[in-house]
A and B are shown apart, each in its own frame.
Chain A
Amino acid sequence: MADNSVVDARGLSCPIPVIRTKKALDAQPDKLVVLVDAQVQVENVTRMAKSKGYVVKEVKKEGDTFRILIVRGK
C-alpha cells in the first residue's frame, strides 16, 4: 500500500486529523485509510469525508486504533 493512501493521525489534537484528511482527499484518491484513536476524531473525519463527496465505508477498531476506510461516493 502506497504511503499516501494512509493518514496516521493517532494522538493528534483537533483539528489536525481533519486537516490531514482534507489534504489527502484534495488529491482525489479512490480510497483512503485514516488512523485515529478517539471516537471524536472518527466523527470529525467522517464529517470531512462527506463534505468532500466521499463516504466512510468501514470503521474497524484494532486495539486502541480506529481504522477508517474512506471511498469515493457515487
Chain B
Amino acid sequence: MSRERVLILISGGVVGLLGVLLVVFGNPPNMVFCIACFERDIAGALGLHRASVVQYIRPEIIGIVLGALIASLAFREFRAEGGSSPILRFFVAMFVMMGALVFLGCPLRMILRLAGGDLNALVAFAGFATGIYIGVLLLKAGFNFGAAKRQKAASGWALPLFMLLLLVLLIFAPQFKQNGPIFFSKKGPGSMHAPILLSLLAGLVVGFLAQRSRLCLMGGTRDLFLIGDTHLLSGFGMVLLVAFIGNLIAGRVHFGFAGQPVAHDEHLWNFLGMSVVGLGSVLLGGCPLRQLVLAGRGNTDSAIAVLGMIVGAAFAHNFNTAASPKGVPFWGAFIAVFGLAVCVLIGILNREKV
C-alpha cells in the first residue's frame, strides 16, 4: 500500500473516531463534526443571525484551519494564492451552505449521520452524488474558474488570523453591548458542546491530517465518476466504517428515517439540498472541510468560500431557508431549487474551450 493510501485511510479513520468521541464528550448527537452546522453556529455567535438555539464559536472549525496551517508550514506547502473567480466562489459557497442547511449537514455530517443509522443520509447521499455527477458533466464540458495567482503571504495569513481572533472571542466571550454579541446558546444544539480544549485539539488533528492526506468528502465520488479513481473515496469509506463501529460500541446506532437527532425526513428536500452541496463543491474544487483546509494552507479563494459559507448560514436563518427537525420551510425548498439552477448556470458560463 502506498504512503498516500495509508495517510488517507488513517485520516478517514481518525475523523470517524473523533466524530464518535466528541459526541460522547458533549457535542450534539450525530452532528459531532459538521462543518456546515459549526460555521452556522459561528455566524450565530457573532450575531449575523439570531436563531438562539444555534449560536456558539466552534473550536473545531478554528482547529481545522490552524491544524492545516501548521501542517502546511511544517511541510513547506504553505503558499498564498488566489484570484480564481473569488466573487463567484463566494456565492457558490453561500448556496452550498444553504443547501446543506436544507438537509441539515455537510458531507461529513451526512456520513456521520449514516454511521448513526440515520437512513435519511442515504437519500441525501443519492442527491449528493447526483449533484457531483452534474458537476462532472460540467468539468467534462470545460468548466474552469481560472488559474489562481501567487499572492503576498499576508493574504494567506488573513483567514488563519481571523480564526485566532475567534478563539480569543470564544475564550473571553466579551459582551459588546447589552443583549449583544458574543451570543452563546443556552439551549438547543448550540448549547451542546465538548470542552473547548478537546474540541480545539480534535480540530487541530483533523486539520493537520486532512492537509497531509488531502481528504475530501466530495472528491472521492467525483474522481470515481470522472476517472474511475477510488483514492479519495477510501477516506470517505474509512470515516463511515470507523464511525459506525464506534457508534455500535457506544450504543448509538438507531436505524430509521423518523425521529433521528437534529434531522427531518422530507426525502425530496434532503435529496435536492445535498445535490446543491455536491454540485457546488465540485465547482469550488472541494467539500466544506477541504475549503477550511485549503484556506489554512494559504488559498485565499477557499478563504473566500469559508466566509461565503458563514454568510450563507446567516442568510439561511434570517430568511427562513434552514430546515429544522420540524421540517423544511417553503423558502428552504425554494433555495434548494434556485441554488441548483444558479450553480448549473455558473458552471455553464465558466466553460473554456476543450
Contacts and interface: CB of A to CB of B under 8 A. Distances in A.
A40 B144 contact: no
Instruction: Using C-beta atoms within 8 Å of the partner chain, give the interface range for chain B.
Output: 20 to 34
Interface stretch (B42-50, B51-59, B146-154, B319-327): B146-154
Interface string B216-252: 1001001100111101000000000000000000000
Interface residues of A, number: 20
Interface string A21-44: 011000000000000011110010
Nearest to B214: A40
Given A43-B214, A47-B229, A15 B150 contact: no
A3 interface: no
A14 B286 contact: yes
A11 B84 CA distance: 8
A19 B139 contact: yes
A30 to B, nearest CB: 22
Given A18-B227, A39-B77, A40-B214, A13 B84 contact: yes
Contacts of A11: 81, 84, 146-149
A15 B219 contact: yes
Contacts of A10: 147
Mostly, the A contact residues are helix
A51 B229 CA distance: 9
Nearest to B2: A47
A15 B84 CA distance: 14
A13 to B, nearest CB: 3
Given A39-B77, A51-B229, A16 B4 contact: no
Nearest to B218: A14
A42 to B, nearest CB: 11
B139 A13 contact: no
Contacts of A39: 75, 77
A64 interface: yes
A51 B230 CA distance: 11
Contacts of A38: 77, 79
A10 B81 CA distance: 11
Contacts of B38: none
Considering residues B145, B219, B227, which has the most beta carbons from chain A within 10 angstroms of its beta carbon? B227
A39 B284 CA distance: 19
Nearest to A39: B77
A19 B282 CA distance: 13
A6 interface: no
Interface string B194-229: 000000000000000000001010010011001111
B285 interface: yes
A37 B148 CA distance: 10
B214 A15 contact: no
Given A19-B139, A47-B231, A14 B219 contact: yes
Contacts of A37: 79, 81, 150
B274 to A, nearest CB: 20
A16 B282 CA distance: 11
Nearest to B223: A15
B226 A15 contact: yes
A33 to B, nearest CB: 17
Interface of B: 4, 75, 77, 79, 81, 84, 139-140, 144-150, 214, 216, 219, 222-223, 226-229, 231, 284-286, 301, 354
Interface of A: 10-16, 18-19, 22-23, 37-40, 43, 47-48, 51, 64
25 contacts: A11-B146, A11-B149, A12-B144, A13-B284, A13-B286, A14-B216, A15-B139, A15-B219, A15-B222, A15-B223, A15-B226, A15-B285, A16-B139, A18-B226, A19-B227, A37-B79, A37-B150, A38-B77, A40-B77, A43-B4, A43-B214, A47-B4, A51-B228, A51-B229, A64-B150
